[in-house]
Amino acid sequence: MYRFLICEFFTGKVLDELPMIIASDLTRYLKMYGEGTLSLPLFDGRGQLVSDTWEQAILPMRSLILVVDDADRIVWNGVPQSRGRNTSSKVSFPCRTTEAALIGRYVPDLDFAKKDQARIFQSVVESMTAGGIGLDYDCPNTGILRDRTYATADNARVYDRVNELSAVLQGFDWTIDVVWGDDTHSWVRKIVRTGYPHLGNRTEHPAHVLETGQNITDFDYQEPWGEGQYATHVVAVGDGEGVDRVMSDPVIDHAREAAGWPRVEYRKAFSSVKDKTTLNSHARALAGYVFGGQQVLTATARNPLGAEDFTSLGDLTLGDAARVIVDTPQLQLNEAWPVIGWSLTPKTGIYKPTMARIGEPVE
């Protein structure tokens, strides 16, 4: 059902196609990297070597593997992090999606005053251009101006800085999309995208539907009161040691506490952040995530077979809304929720989209 194409990471040029298999769940999420493991059986059913160039084609950190569906849509991309060998006839390749490239680079000295947050984001990522991976950008202005000063001495990774920037109050979504660069599908582009206040088409009448009795075979609905999902007292923690550590002012859900809910405290650390105003903004954003809890549903869904006509994994775009229809004794639900992530299981045709209630951000 899926094909596996091997590309050169920097240029995006397609080099080869190999009969790989999905060895663990492949994941993808907004504002973070996904991961998964692919493996290559070295011999076919007749005992013949599947490729005499696979070692040169799949090089950790230099190759990009595409998982494409029957319609040649790119479903997932992964950069091999290592190459595992043992006595078996399969070679395993633990992978991370393209967003993980931001982990391996550090932010240089940069200073921004009254700059649109999308321009700060793009400038920070563009600091990776020398020796980079050939990125394109689609980062429209948001209208939100910010001040930021970054120092190379802070030893802060690009990945951490852009996530800190995007997670503040009135922040934004970001991702890196891997798309075909031409009609012949001979190479791919890697496009860094941002969206304010979110990425994707969020509408109450989406084109795609996930429904029990159709494509949903099971689901996991997270009640909004689980550990880490609910708090009434939030503090953002910055740099420093002991009494010198910088912390935000607490943000308190006074209404819920006054109604009799016991206090539950939640703190999150933000590396290399020393400005209290920035930490206060982080704390307010965190409060939006955890006050009152979050409603999240992960569906186990199957792709259509034969003449069936319903939403498949290749139809979904991160950030877009999908209508979720659940009709079971435990849960009745018929609402449009945005898709914030998904995983593809090793079992052919099974995928797990994760959705959250519109208007309730999920960190």
d(C-alpha 261, C-alpha 258), whole Å: 7
Residues 118 and 29 in one domain: no
Residues 27 and 158 in one domain: no
For residue 107, being part of any structural domain is answered with yes
Give the number of domains in the chain.
Answer: 4
pLDDT at 79: 98
Residues 317 and 284 in one domain: no
d(C-alpha 128, C-alpha 272), whole Å: 19
Residues of the chain with pLDDT under 50: 359-363
pLDDT at 275: 87
Domain that includes residue 135, residue range: 102-195
Phi/psi zone of residue 346: left (φ > 0), alpha (ψ -120 to 50 degrees), beta?
Answer: alpha
Residues 320 and 332 in one domain: yes
pLDDT at 357: 76
Residues 146 and 282 in one domain: no
For residue 361, being part of any structural domain is answered with no
For residue 84, being part of any structural domain is answered with yes
pLDDT at 224: 64
Residues 129 and 188 in one domain: yes
76 close to 34: Cβ distance less than 8 angstroms: yes
**Which CATH number belongs to the domain containing residue 44 in this structure?**
2.30.110
**Which CATH number belongs to the domain containing residue 346 in this structure?**
2.40.30
Residues 219 and 325 in one domain: yes
| Residue with the two structure tokens 């050169």 | 8
pLDDT at 313: 92
pLDDT at 133: 95
Q: Who's near 11: CB < 8 A, 6+ residues apart?
A: 134, 187
Residue 188 neighbours by CB distance under 10 Å: 26
Residues 89 and 126 in one domain: no
Phi, psi of 89 (to 5 degrees): -95, 20
Residues 303 and 215 in one domain: yes
* Tokens at 347, concatenated: 């079992």
Tell me what percent of the chain is helix, strand and coil, each rounded to the nearest 5.
15, 40, 45
Residue 63 neighbours by CB distance under 10 Å: 20
d(C-alpha 157, C-alpha 285), whole Å: 21
For residue 278, being part of any structural domain is answered with yes
Residues 68 and 122 in one domain: no
Residue 186 neighbours by CB distance under 10 Å: 12
